[in-house]
């Protein structure tokens, strides 16, 4: 921290430049160079450079003099830790009501904080970050999870370097991992019919949630907050305001979606939620009901995490009576890929599809545009049709060329015969 004011010790060595530029000097009790920089209207700033070489100390003096002239009295980087940077980043996320703040706080509390909380921000290295990733992999964390944790650190540094004055002088290179756990699941038409039937057996609310996700690819946390006032049943339209990126979305219902939502809004007030259970309670978390419907449709499997046995119930294991039930299979989020794929195959323009799905960039949108074997077969058929059409045009061209050549040859022969007849008449 800068020491503002006079020092009691007398410097044993000092080097002075032009008047007003400041000076560097050595103190009797220190092996590093110190600087004294005059500040207009204030006491001179005295602080340690942390450098033992005179040339490096002079470079430090030049940088600090420029910063002070611009009014940027930078904090002491030797007291700023990675933990303090992340705390400021989390404070900014809470202030702006970012939806991911809870998850970021959890990652900082459980993993990132224990590894880097006391590390000086200026001392964080790429090697330390790479070792953190290796340690987390050894603990069984997926690459995607590790990348989200490293993103917490990256956001903290990006925010610190943009502050006035900057809290860090630079951002360390943060190596991100290849994510091999990216999901590519989607729903085929025959699977859609089976799952729709099993969702209806659970309740009309689950069938409505399924049809909404299948048609509009809304996120689960967006769908459960949908209110009756956002549905225009006369014009069969839906307006979604509470979204992940805070942008409103508008779309028109299909016939299947309209029939699924109609019984859910009958008799309800505009401020009530669309998706409520049979007892009138609001649907917040429907994962277990979704697991059971998908398992009954052959699209997933529930299992006990304790004994690894398959389970027919999402609440407890029939063999070991444990309530720690896991699930592998189709997720509600996979409906986003299904809906985007269906809309693209049915000729909907990319811009309209992105407005409904809420994607702001084409790169992310294309990640959901899944291609399967059926699409590849259709591509093959179109290529075959194009090749046959091209060959047909080639044959027509060659046939026309042959006809023209024959006609030209016939005209040439008739011309020769006419010239011979004219020559014979002249001889006579």
Residue pLDDT, tens place only, 121-161: 988 999 999 999 999 999 989 898 999 999 999 999 999 98
Q: Which residue has better confidence, 167 or 264?
A: 264
Per-residue model confidence (pLDDT) at position 264: 93
Per-residue model confidence (pLDDT) at position 1: 43
Q: Indicate whether 366 pLDDT > 70.
A: no
Question: What is the mean predicted confidence (pLDDT) over 264-274?
Answer: 92
Edge to edge, the sheet with strand 231-232 lists 231-232, 237-240, 249-252
Per-residue model confidence (pLDDT) at position 5: 43
| Contact predicate 165/74, CB 8 Å | yes
Binned at pLDDT 50, 70 and 90, residue 84 comes out as very high
Measure the CA–CA gap between 88 and 79, rounded to whole angstroms: 15
CATH topology classification for 79-162: DNA polymerase; domain 1 (1.10.150)
Per-residue model confidence (pLDDT) at position 30: 84
Per-residue model confidence (pLDDT) at position 155: 95
| Residue of 218, 210, 220 whose CA lies nearest to 359 | 218
Question: What is the mean predicted confidence (pLDDT) over 354-361?
Answer: 57
Q: 189-286+332-345: same fold as 3-73? A: no
CATH number for 189-286+332-345: choose from 1.20.120.160, 3.40.1280.10, 1.10.443.10, 3.10.105.10.
1.10.443.10
In the block, tokens 């999870």 appear at 145
The three-point CA angle 375-362-104 to 5° equals: 115
Long-range pairs for 15-22: beta carbons < 8 A, 24 or more residues apart: 15/54, 15/58, 21/61, 21/65, 22/61, 22/65
| Residue of 336, 345, 324 whose CA lies nearest to 367 | 336
Q: pLDDT tens across 375-406, in order?
A: 556 656 666 676 677 777 777 877 777 776 76
HSE-up (13 A, CA, CB side) for residue 81: 11
Q: Which residue has better confidence, 418 or 287?
A: 287
Whether the bond between 165 and the residue before it is cis, its omega within 30 degrees of 0, is: yes
Q: Which residues pair with 13 in a beta bridge?
A: 26
CATH number for 3-73: choose from 3.30.160, 3.40.50, 3.40.1350, 1.20.120.
3.30.160
Q: Indicate whether 11 pLDDT > 60.
A: no
Binned at pLDDT 50, 70 and 90, residue 356 comes out as low
Q: pLDDT tens across 232-256, in order?
A: 899 998 887 766 656 677 888 889 9
Q: Indicate whether 71 pLDDT > 60.
A: no
Structure tokens at 151: 């993103």
Q: Indicate whether 9 pLDDT > 50.
A: no
- SS3 string, the chain, reads CCEECCCCCCCCEEEECCCCCCEEEECCCCCCEEEEECCCCCCCEEEECCCCCHHHHHHHHHHHHHHHHCCCCCCCHHHCEHHHHHHHHHHHHHHCCCCCHHHHHHHHHHHHHHHHCCCEHHHCCHHHHHHHHHHHHHCCCCHHHHHHHHHHHHHHHHHHHHCCCCCCCCCCCCCCCCCCCCCCCCCCHHHHHHHHHHHHHHCHHHHHHHHHHHHHCCCHHHHCCCEHHHEECCCCEEEECCCCCCCCEEEECCHHHHHHHHHHHCCCCCCCECCECCCCCECCCCHHHHHHHHHHCCCEEEEECCCCCECCCCCCCCCCCCCCEEEEECCCCHHHHHHHHHHHHCCCCHHHHHHHHCCCCHHHHHHCCCCCHHHHHHHHHHHHHHHHHHHHHHHHHHHHHHHHHHHHHHHHHHHHHHHHHHHHHHHC
Q: Which residues pair with 310 in a beta bridge?
A: 303
Per-residue model confidence (pLDDT) at position 361: 55
Binned at pLDDT 50, 70 and 90, residue 365 comes out as very low
Which residues are CB-contacts of 392 (< 8 A; sequence separation ≥ 6)?
none
Where residue 61 falls (left for φ over 0; alpha for ψ -120 to 50; beta otherwise) is: alpha
CA distances 110 to 106, 155, 330, 419, Å, are 6, 18, 29, 105
Q: Indicate whether 317 pLDDT > 80.
A: yes
| Contact predicate 24/63, CB 8 Å | no
Q: Which of 47-51, 162-166, 188-192, 288-292 is the least confident region?
A: 162-166
Considering the entire predicted model, what is its pTM?
0.56
Per-residue model confidence (pLDDT) at position 125: 93
Residue spans per domain, the chain: 3-73, 79-162, 189-286+332-345
In the block, tokens 């811009």 appear at 351
Binned at pLDDT 50, 70 and 90, residue 4 comes out as very low
Q: pLDDT tens across 12-33, in order?
A: 555 656 676 788 899 888 889 9
Q: Indicate whether 308 pLDDT > 80.
A: yes
């Amino acid at each position: 921290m800068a020491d503002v004011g006079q020092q009691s010790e007398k410097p044993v060595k000092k080097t002075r430049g032009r008047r007003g530029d400041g000076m560097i000097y050595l103190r009797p009790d220190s092996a590093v160079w110190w600087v004294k920089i005059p500040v207009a209207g204030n006491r001179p700033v005295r602080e340690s450079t942390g450098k033992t070489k005179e040339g490096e100390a002079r470079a430090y003096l030049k940088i600090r003099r420029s910063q002070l002239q611009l009014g940027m009295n930078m904090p002491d980087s030797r007291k700023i830790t990675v933990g303090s940077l992340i705390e400021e980043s989390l404070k900014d996320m809470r202030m702006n009501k970012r939806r991911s703040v809870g998850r970021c706080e959890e990652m900082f509390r459980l993993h990132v904080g224990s590894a880097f909380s006391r590390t000086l921000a200026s001392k964080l290295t790429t090697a330390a970050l790479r070792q953190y990733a290796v340690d987390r992999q050894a603990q069984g964390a997926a690459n995607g999870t590790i990348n989200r944790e490293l993103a917490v650190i990256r956001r903290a540094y990006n925010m610190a370097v943009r502050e006035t004055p900057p809290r860090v002088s630079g951002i360390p290179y943060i190596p991100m991992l290849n994510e091999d756990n990216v999901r590519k699941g989607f729903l085929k038409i025959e699977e859609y019919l089976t799952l729709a039937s099993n969702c209806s057996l659970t309740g009309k609310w689950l069938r409505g949630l399924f049809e909404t996700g299948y048609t509009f690819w809304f996120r689960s946390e967006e769908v459960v907050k949908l209110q009756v006032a956002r549905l225009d049943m006369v014009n069969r339209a839906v307006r979604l305001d509470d979204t992940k990126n805070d942008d409103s979305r508008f779309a028109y219902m299909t016939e299947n979606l309209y029939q699924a939502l109609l019984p859910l809004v009958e008799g309800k007030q505009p401020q009530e939620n669309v998706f409520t259970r049979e007892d009138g309670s609001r649907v917040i978390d429907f994962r277990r009901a979704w697991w059971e419907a998908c398992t009954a449709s052959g699209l997933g499997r529930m299992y006990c995490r304790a004994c690894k046995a398959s389970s027919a119930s999402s609440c407890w294991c029939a063999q070991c009576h444990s309530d720690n039930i896991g699930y592998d299979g189709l997720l509600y989020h996979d409906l986003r890929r299904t809906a985007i794929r269906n809309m693209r195959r049915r000729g909907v323009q990319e811009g309209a599809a992105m407005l409904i799905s809420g994607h702001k960039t084409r790169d992310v949108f294309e990640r959901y545009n899944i291609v399967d074997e059926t699409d590849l077969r259709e591509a093959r058929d179109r290529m075959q049709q194009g090749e046959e059409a091209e060959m047909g045009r080639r044959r027509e061209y060659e046939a026309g060329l042959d006809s023209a050549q024959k006609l030209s040859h016939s005209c040439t022969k008739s011309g020769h015969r006419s010239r011979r007849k004219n020559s014979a008449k002249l001889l006579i």
